[in-house]
């Protein structure tokens, strides 16, 4: 009996000792809760910071892709510019003059600002769904934004089917929104000019520069410190007058 009582007391003492070592105090629980809350706050801040960065990067990539697509279309139009016909040949529909100071019939509306003259180009495509010739007349305009914002939309007016059996086809294409300004300049081999008249020069410029200023996302169109995006396209085709001038320049003594 004495041995059994001693074993019983030892067992109770052991259980009591292990129970005391495994318990948590109120201070420890509060400290663990505070640490857990801090960890959750850090995780929350990191996650939403990464999410905001992802959204901003995605928007920036989308804006850049829209600009690249627009510049690609402008480059194709300018690179495919066609040699203007002799001014006396008024019946040549496929070779329009490059004249920046004459208003043409390829107008958009009274609220839009013309950016380029009418450009006769071979940038059209022929396939089973586009039954027109590759020659088309293209003009660019700045129109009031469709959403009513302060910036403008860059609109491409395309006149296809220049030698129609019945009626020409004109299409207005909004290429880019949020445009503050746009312009075009002509390189004559020495200087950049704001105007060009092929009926007078009997030639085309050596290169054409298309520039536009795009409003930043969430910004204002009143800013004047924005750098323009410029696209310079060389004009590879040459008129007879240009070839004669180049031949005369090469034959001239130095």
* Assigned domain for 11 exists: no
User: Count of domains in the chain?
Assistant: 1
Length of the chain: 254
Percent of the chain whose predicted confidence (pLDDT) is above 70: 75
Q: What would the mean pLDDT of 186-209 be, rounded to a whole number?
A: 90
What is the SS3 assignment for 193?
Answer: strand
**pLDDT score, position 130:** 58
Q: What is the pLDDT of residues 86-99, one digit of tens each?
A: 666 555 556 778 88
The reply to whether 187 falls in a domain is yes
Q: Which of 7-16, 54-63, 100-109, 158-167 has the highest mean pLDDT?
A: 54-63
Q: What is the three-class DSSP state of 122?
A: coil
Q: Strands 192-193 and 229-234: what pairing?
A: unpaired
Q: Is residue 239 part of a domain?
A: yes
- Mean pLDDT of the chain, nearest integer: 80
Percent of the chain past pLDDT 90, that is, above it, reads: 20
CA angle 75, 77, 82 (to 5 degrees): 125
Q: Is 10 inside any structural domain? A: no
pLDDT at site 17: 47
Tell me how far apart the alpha carbons of residues 129 and 133 are, in angstroms, rounded to a whole number. Answer: 12
Model confidence at 229, in pLDDT bands (50, 70, 90)?
very high
Q: Which two tokens stand for residue 149?
A: 């914002």
Average pLDDT of the segment spanning 206-224: 81
Residues 193, 195: Cα–Cα separation, whole Å = 6
- Three-state secondary structure call for residue 34: helix
Residues 65-69: what's their mean pLDDT? 91
Q: Is residue 13 part of a domain?
A: no
Q: How confident is the model at residue 102 (pLDDT cuts 50, 70, 90)?
A: low
What are the residues whose beta carbons fall under 8 Å from the beta carbon of 99, sequence distance 6 or more?
Answer: 117, 118, 196, 197, 198, 199
Report pLDDT for 3: 44
Domain span holding position 164: 58-251
pTM of model > 0.95: no
Taking CA atoms, 156 is separated from 80, 81, 109, in Å, by 16, 15, 13
Q: How confident is the model at residue 208 (pLDDT cuts 50, 70, 90)?
A: very high
**Residue showing tokens 């008249």:** 197
Residue 16 lies in a domain: no
Task: Please state the rounded mean pLDDT for residues 68-87.
Answer: 87
How far apart are alpha carbons 170 and 141 in whole angstroms? 14
Q: Residue 194: count other Cβ atoms within 10 Å of its Cβ.
A: 10
CB atoms within 10 A of CB 30: 10
The predicted pLDDT at position 127 comes to 60
pLDDT digits (tens, 9 = 90+) for 40-58: 988 888 888 888 888 888 8
For 45, residues 6+ apart whose C-beta sits below 8 A from its C-beta are none
Split at pLDDT 50, 70, 90, the class of 77 is: very high
18 — pLDDT class (breaks 50, 70, 90): very low
Residue 181 within any structural domain of the chain:
yes
Helices (H), 168-254: 198-201, 240-251
Give 127-176 as a 3 state SS string. ECCECCCCCEEEEEEEEECCCCCCCEEEEEEEEECCCCCCCCEEEEEEEE
CB atoms within 10 A of CB 180: 21
Identify which has the larger pLDDT, 3 or 34: 34
Tell me the two tokens of residue 155. 């609109």
50 occurs within a structural domain:
no
Q: pLDDT tens digits for 114-147?
A: 899 888 888 887 665 555 667 888 999 999 988 8
Query: Are 208 and 197 spatial neighbours (Cβ–Cβ below 8 Å)?
Result: no
Report yes or no: 241 and 202 within 8 Å, Cβ to Cβ. Answer: yes
Given pLDDT bands bounded at 50, 70 and 90, which one contains residue 210?
very high
């Amino acid at each position: 009996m004495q041995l059994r009582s001693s074993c019983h007391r030892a067992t109770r003492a052991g259980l009591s000792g292990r129970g005391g070592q495994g318990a948590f105090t109120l201070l420890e629980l509060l400290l663990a809760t505070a640490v857990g809350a801090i960890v959750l706050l850090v995780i929350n801040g990191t996650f939403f910071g990464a999410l905001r960065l992802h959204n901003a990067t995605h928007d920036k990539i989308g804006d850049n892709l829209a600009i690249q697509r627009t510049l690609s279309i402008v480059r194709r139009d300018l690179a495919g510019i066609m040699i203007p016909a002799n001014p006396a040949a008024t019946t040549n529909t496929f070779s329009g003059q490059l004249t920046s100071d004459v208003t043409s019939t390829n107008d958009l509306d009274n609220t839009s600002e013309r950016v380029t003259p009418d450009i006769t180009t071979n940038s059209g495509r022929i396939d089973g769904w586009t039954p027109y010739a590759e020659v088309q007349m293209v003009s660019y305009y700045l129109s009031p934004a469709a959403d009513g914002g302060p910036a403008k939309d860059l609109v491409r007016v395309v006149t296809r089917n220049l030698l129609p059996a019945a009626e020409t086809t004109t299409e207005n294409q909004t290429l880019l929104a949020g445009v503050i300004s746009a312009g075009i300049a002509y390189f004559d081999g020495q200087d950049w000019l704001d105007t060009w008249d092929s009926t007078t020069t009997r030639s085309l410029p050596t290169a054409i520069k298309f520039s536009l200023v795009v409003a930043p996302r969430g910004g204002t169109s009143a800013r004047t410190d924005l750098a323009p995006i410029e696209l310079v396209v060389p004009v590879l085709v040459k008129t007879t007058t240009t070839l004669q001038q180049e031949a005369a320049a090469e034959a001239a003594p130095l």
